[in-house]
């Protein structure tokens, strides 16, 4: 057996990771963590938008409920600019029949406008459209709700 070396399987195998394998693993981990961080940012923005929309919906519903409790001839239900159903879509202070402002706990200003149309869609009814407009991160957002009240004698 001279001149021959005996090789035992596994004794010459290297154990551990190469530097290249470690760099690839760290790169993949970094990409995954950045994706998770991006998802978190998007979730926070989505929650903020949902919170603003929920607040606006609550304000619009509160205003509609308040207006529905008023007498049919109450001045808050008057079509002050006599624009009828054409004016229902006007959502700014200059053309609204009535308006209010509300600031929530986070400092967001909500402007609440409502327009009314007497005898619409039928005689002795009033259509009310409540708009809520607010700005969030420099973007103006709006929401509107409709309701119809009838004269009950």
Structure-derived torsion over alpha carbons of residues 87, 129, 74, 152, reported in degrees to the nearest 10: 110
Q: Look at residue 136 and tell me if it is in a domain.
A: yes
pLDDT at 36: 94
- Is 8 domain-assigned? no
Q: Which domain holds residue 85?
A: 19-150
On whether residue 138 sits in a domain, the answer given is: yes
Residues 6+ apart with CB under 8 A from 115: 79, 83, 87, 88, 89, 90, 95, 96, 97, 128, 129, 131
Q: How many domains does the chain have?
A: 1
Residue at 61 is within a domain: yes
58 within domain boundaries: yes
What is the tens place of the pLDDT at every residue in 32-85?
999 999 999 999 888 888 888 999 999 999 999 998 898 888 888 888 777 777
In a domain, 12, yes or no: no
Residue 92: inside a domain: yes
Residue 135 contacts residue 111 (beta carbons within 8 Å): no
Flag whether 135 is in a domain: yes
C-alpha–C-alpha distance, residues 147 and 37, integer Å: 43
Report pLDDT for 59: 92
């Amino acid at each position: 057996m001279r001149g021959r070396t005996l090789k035992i399987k596994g004794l010459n195998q290297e154990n551990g990771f190469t530097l290249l394998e470690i760099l690839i693993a760290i790169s993949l981990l970094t990409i995954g963590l950045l994706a998770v961080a991006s998802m978190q940012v998007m979730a926070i923005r989505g929650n903020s938008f949902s919170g603003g929309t929920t607040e606006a919906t609550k304000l619009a519903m509160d205003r509609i409920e308040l207006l529905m409790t008023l007498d049919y001839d109450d001045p808050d239900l008057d079509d002050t600019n006599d624009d009828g159903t054409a004016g229902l879509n006007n959502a700014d202070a200059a053309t609204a029949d009535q308006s209010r402002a509300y600031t929530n706990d986070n400092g967001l200003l909500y402007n609440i406008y409502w327009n009314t149309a007497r005898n619409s869609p039928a005689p002795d009814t009033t259509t009310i459209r409540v708009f809520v407009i607010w700005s969030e991160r420099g973007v103006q957002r709006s929401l509107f709700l409709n309701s119809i009240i009838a004269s009950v004698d």
